[in-house]
């Protein structure tokens, strides 16, 4: 851990101005401390001595240690944010990141489930008719029908639920309203009836059977288990259901701008990745349906 106070000030900047989530904040600080340890900075004045050759040497070290291109680019993103901030604060007079580009990323299409794998009839047989079964079913449906993130689901409060919508607190504390179907609204009411007999002080919508708040590993394990019963996909996570929501919405005619707002993306480019999946789906349909779409 670097001993100088600049890190404390940078952490405060990430919290108050960038409004990073706790997970993002921890990742940035870990990346930064790893870099500072590599270049052996012990004083604030030594920041000015860091050049792009030193950073390039760090990249080589990361590659040799087996870090993926995605991980390396995330770490470089941390340094870009840090050095832009240092320049603004006057802690350095040069930005060594300007001459550096990260390694190219492989384009990975989002993994998603088929609509047939999430049919109501198929899902009904998976869940027990008790509090945990009703809650788990609601968790899965909320992921699939709204596209919310894992952290957003855990932090949903009772007061965030209306008859036809939910209010979600997303990244950087940005609120958005997501419409929900009448069926999902009914599921929430049924769940709340089961929940009413549990002794809890929590204001969260979804809780454990002992009245305590949900936590990420618990939700991940539950979703992984249930998806394992309906799909053979290697990835079976809450985020796969977010990808599935987005892909199915696009396949059924939703516009990119609308989907961007629902997903809470800051930029349209983050939403456009789902168009590749949609085009693949459309191409397969075309190949099967059009008389000249396939070879005889």
Q: Which of 149, 195, 243, 248 is catalytic?
A: 149
Known catalytic membership, residue 149:
yes
Known catalytic membership, residue 294:
no
Q: Which of 74, 80, 114, 239 is catalytic?
A: 239
Distant-in-sequence, close-in-space partners of 241: CB < 8 Å, separation ≥ 6: 113, 140, 143, 144, 147, 223, 227
Q: Which of 135, 195, 236, 265 is catalytic?
A: 265
The backbone torsions φ and ψ at residue 129, rounded to the nearest 5 degrees and listed phi first, read -90, 60
Does an H or E element contain 190, and which? helix 182-195
Known catalytic membership, residue 236:
no
Q: Which of 242, 243, 248, 260 is catalytic?
A: 242
Known catalytic membership, residue 171:
yes
Known catalytic membership, residue 52:
no
Distant-in-sequence, close-in-space partners of 121: CB < 8 Å, separation ≥ 6: none
Three-state SS for 265? coil
Known catalytic membership, residue 122:
no
Half-sphere exposure of 257 (CA within 13 A, CB side): 0
Q: Which of 28, 144, 226, 274 is catalytic?
A: 274
Three-state SS for 12? helix
Distance between first and last Cα of the chain: 66
Q: Which of 171, 204, 261, 276 is catalytic?
A: 171
Partners of 157 in the beta sheet? 204
Catalytic residue ranges: 149, 171, 239, 242, 265, 274
């Amino acid at each position: 851990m670097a001993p100088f106070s600049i890190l404390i000030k940078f952490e405060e900047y990430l919290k108050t101005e960038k409004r990073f989530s706790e997970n993002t904040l921890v990742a940035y600080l870990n990346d930064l401390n790893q870099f500072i340890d590599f270049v052996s900075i012990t004083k604030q004045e030594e920041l000015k001595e860091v050049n792009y050759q030193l950073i390039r040497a760090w990249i080589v070290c990361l590659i040799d240690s087996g870090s993926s291109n995605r991980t390396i680019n995330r770490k470089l993103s941390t340094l870009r944010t840090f050095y832009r901030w240092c320049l603004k604060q006057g802690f350095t007079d040069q930005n060594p990141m300007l001459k550096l580009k990260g390694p190219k990323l492989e384009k990975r299409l989002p993994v998603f489930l088929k609509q047939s794998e999430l049919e109501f009839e198929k899902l009904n047989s998976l869940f027990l008719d008790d509090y945990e079964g009703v809650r788990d079913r609601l968790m899965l449906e909320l992921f699939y029908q709204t596209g919310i993130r894992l952290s957003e689901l855990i932090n949903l409060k009772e007061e965030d639920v209306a008859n036809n919508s939910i209010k979600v607190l997303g990244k950087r504390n940005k609120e958005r309203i997501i419409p929900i179907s009448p069926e999902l609204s009914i599921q929430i009411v049924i769940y709340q009836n089961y929940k009413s007999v549990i002794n809890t002080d929590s204001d969260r919508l979804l809780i454990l059977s002992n009245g305590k708040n949900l936590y990420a590993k618990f939700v991940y394990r539950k979703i992984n288990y249930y998806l394992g019963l309906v799909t053979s996909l290697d990835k079976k996570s809450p985020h796969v259901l977010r990808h599935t929501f987005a892909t199915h919405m696009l396949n059924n005619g939703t516009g990119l701008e609308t989907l961007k707002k629902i997903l809470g993306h800051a930029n349209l480019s983050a939403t456009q990745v789902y168009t590749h999946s949609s085009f693949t789906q459309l191409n397969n349909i075309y190949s099967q349906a059009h008389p000249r779409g396939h070879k005889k």
